[in-house]
Amino acid sequence: MPTGYAPRPVDTGWYAGFGQLETGVGQQIVYAEDGSRFAGATFDPSGIYRLDAVLTWLESEAVTAAHIHSHAASLQERFLAGAPNLGELLPPETHERGNFLTFRSDDAAETYGSLHDRGVITDHRGDRLRIGFGIYQDEEDVDRLLTVLSE
């Protein structure tokens, strides 16, 4: 925060006065002189530390975003080779996909619910069903998913 910048936040949480914990709270909240004055009670920086640890670990293992995407793409291809018809695949070109597959179908919500009831985490919005693939999955996971879908 620039020196002298001291407007009072409209909404804040107890983190905003974190520096005042030892001296106690008076009638008015005393806000920090830096950007922490805008920190709310819902802010939890531990996720940032976890992310940093994971990124550091991936770098030490020479694992790049390209490696992760290549792995996910190979799982997608395995899935598509054995998957039942889940609807129209969007987009159909593999080079334009992220690490998930999206299917357009009038049954997207029903398929989502059925998979959810079997412990399979997917996403759906309207007529779109999304199935994600990541570094933490392997070919056996894809085969289990295919088995669940065939039931």
pLDDT tens digits, residue range 118-134?
999 999 999 999 999 99
Is the confidence at residue 105, as pLDDT, over 80?
A: yes
- 122 is a domain residue: yes
The pLDDT of residue 44 is 74
Q: What is the CATH number of the domain that holds 85?
A: 3.90.1150.10
Q: Is the peptide bond before 92 cis (omega within 30 degrees of 0)?
A: no
Q: Does a structural domain hold residue 13?
A: no
Report which of residues 95 and 126 the model is more confident about: 126
Identify whether 11 is part of a domain. Answer: no
- Residue 41 pLDDT > 60, yes or no? no
CA dihedral 151, 141, 122, 46 (to 10 degrees): 150
Q: Tell me whether residue 30 is in a domain.
A: no
- Asked whether the beta carbons of 129 and 65 are under 8 A apart, the reply is no
In-domain check, residue 45: no
CA 14 from chain centre, in angstroms, equals 27
Decide if 52 is inside a domain.
no
Number of domains in the chain: 1
Q: Is residue 7 part of a domain?
A: no
Q: Mean pLDDT across the stretch 35-40?
A: 64
Give the residue numbers spanning the domain of 90. 65-150
